[in-house]
Structure 1
Amino acid sequence: MTNRGNFIWYELMTSDAQAAESFYSNVVGWGAQDAGNPNMKYTLLTVDNKPVAGMMTTPEGCNTGVESMWSGYILVDDVDQYASRVKDAGGKVTVEPQDIPNVGRFAVVADPQGVPFSLFKPSLDDRGDFPKPPAAGTIGWHELIASDWKSAFEFYSGLFGWTKGEAMDMGPMGTYQIIERDGAMFGAMMNNPEPSNPPVWRYYICVADVTSAESRLKDKGGQVLFGPVEVPGGQWILHARDPQGVFFALVGPRA
């Protein structure tokens, strides 16, 4: 299966999906389509009418470890087997493997430091020609803020074959370790600069212009937490919270 071990899908669980749809459509430029699920409201967020992420209101009493946050799905060829391997490696399964009719099979898990993510095998091996980073609206970077990035790397590399790229010295913030899959870098790991905050995966949404996106997110009730700051490669990043309080990040050039 191509792209096995890579992030393949992203999902926002939020207290108000309708308000979040309006916010992200304005800030990022996503289109929105109803997924057509008769049992629940699920919205597909699209780039050029092709889905790149999903969104839903957090169900009452939800206890999946992904409450009101962005989460990522990693492609595997056997969800049940990988769920078992997660547990064997010290993680836990918070939602046991189950099927989504005509979509695929998934499980919600957490690494040994408690960071949630999902395992996913789609019903169709060939998902077609979907938009790829750095196209606006795609996810361009994956950043694990860990309690201990070295042990986290051992966990994920053992499961998915991830390898180390460049290690960047961030001074008092420690090492920023680039991570790669099949020789292509897609994210990084670092120790949490604020240990009182829980470890978490951060997903960076690509935009065409960080400056204008920053203006839109402020106009629509979002809050900038950090940045924009320039990063290697001539890109700029910022961290923010949406009006429902969910953390997200943006990456792109700056006009």
Structure 2
Amino acid sequence: MTEAPESADPRAPHAPGTPCWVSLMTPAAAAAEEFYRTLFGWEFRAGPLGRPVRASLHGREVAVIGQLPPDAGLSAAWTPYLASDDVDLTAERVRMSGGTVAVGPLDAGGNGRVAIAADPLGAVFGFCTAWAHPAPARGGGPGLPAWTELRTMSAVRVTTFYARVFGYEAEPPSAPDHITLRSGGRPVVALHGMGPDLPRALGAHWMPHFEVTDTDTTVRQVLDLGGRLLEPVHDTPYGRVATVADPHGARLGVVRRPGTLPRPRR
């Protein structure tokens, strides 16, 4: 688990490999908007064609929510976008390192160039032009991304792939097959090897964690809104954490950072 990056300059681009955007594709986009509006207080702005919509909080854009086609046969899922200084070069590195580029690179207007790829064990991720999503002047806050984690069969097996593609440096494992990757001198993503405990139907996947002021209260709210609790609330060195799913199955983590005061209980 790693904290969301900080920057002293709100105009500064993210370091390569830093999560700078997250996208949710779901079969029920309108219902997802209502769920996340209630849970995190997000506001939504429609795109030129209505969808996808952009979610923001306190003026900071947080995510995109898009509608899966009815016949897509895909489950709801979050996809992180990692910053790149050269999206075309990054795509070539993905291919040369054993991954697959599924979409792009292509131009996305004010978002620079973007692409979507999969690592050698099948985890899907995007990457985009670093300058198009400037790093925030402060680390985050409730309703904003806290960190991004890859859950995969073997973290060791994909560490070299991500290091070659984004130039990460790997920290020594914090636990068996738990590896944190650094960029620009800061921890930016975590790799969690789950071995046979990785859900077979889900496979390798990236999962965003969002900051909250009270993890226990947020989990109860998720359940009240029709979501599910996947991993119970527990304390870690990084805060009080739980893994949940929204009503259509998209997985995410919620975390109260150490030192954050919980909401008063009612």
Within a 5 Å distance, the mapping from 1:19-168 to structure 2 comes to: 19-35=31-47, 37-38=48-49, 40-60=50-70, 62=72, 68-121=76-129, 125=131, 127=133, 130=136, 132-168=138-174
Aligned residue among 236, 243, 250 for 1:239: 243
CA displacement at 1:138 relative to structure 2: 1.7
> What does residue 224 of structure 2 align with?
219
CA displacement at 1:60 relative to structure 2: 4.7
| TM-score (normalizing by structure 2) | 0.84
Query: Structure 1 CA distance, aligned partners of 2:38 and 2:82?
Result: 27
In the alignment, is the contact (CA less than 8 A) between 1:131 and 1:138 conserved in 2?
no
- Structure 1's consecutive aligned runs of 4 or more residues displaced over 6 angstroms after TM superposition are none
CA displacement at 1:71 relative to structure 2: 0.2
In the alignment, is the contact (CA less than 8 A) between 1:231 and 1:237 conserved in 2?
yes
Within a 5 Å distance, the mapping from 1:154-193 to structure 2 comes to: 154-169=160-175, 174-193=176-195
CA displacement at 1:102 relative to structure 2: 3.3
CA displacement at 1:220 relative to structure 2: 0.7
In the alignment, is the contact (CA less than 8 A) between 2:244 and 2:253 conserved in 1?
yes
In the alignment, is the contact (CA less than 8 A) between 2:93 and 2:164 conserved in 1?
no
> What does residue 254 of structure 2 align with?
250
Query: Structure 1 CA distance, aligned partners of 2:248 and 2:146?
Result: 23
2:182 alignment partner AA:
E
* Residues 67, 86 of structure 1: alpha-carbon distance in 2 compared, 3 angstrom cutoff: farther
CA displacement at 1:230 relative to structure 2: 0.4
RMSD of the TM alignment (CA)?
2.2
| SS of residue matched to 1:24 | helix
1:24 alignment partner AA:
Y
Query: Structure 1 CA distance, aligned partners of 2:124 and 2:118?
Result: 4
2:20 counterpart of 1:8: yes
Number of aligned residue pairs: give it.
Answer: 244
CA displacement at 1:117 relative to structure 2: 0.4
| SS of residue matched to 1:102 | helix
* Residues 101, 60 of structure 1: alpha-carbon distance in 2 compared, 3 angstrom cutoff: farther
The answer for unaligned runs of 5 or more in structure 2 is 1-12
CA displacement at 1:155 relative to structure 2: 0.6
CA displacement at 1:241 relative to structure 2: 1.1
In the alignment, is the contact (CA less than 8 A) between 1:133 and 1:206 conserved in 2?
no
| SS of residue matched to 2:148 | strand
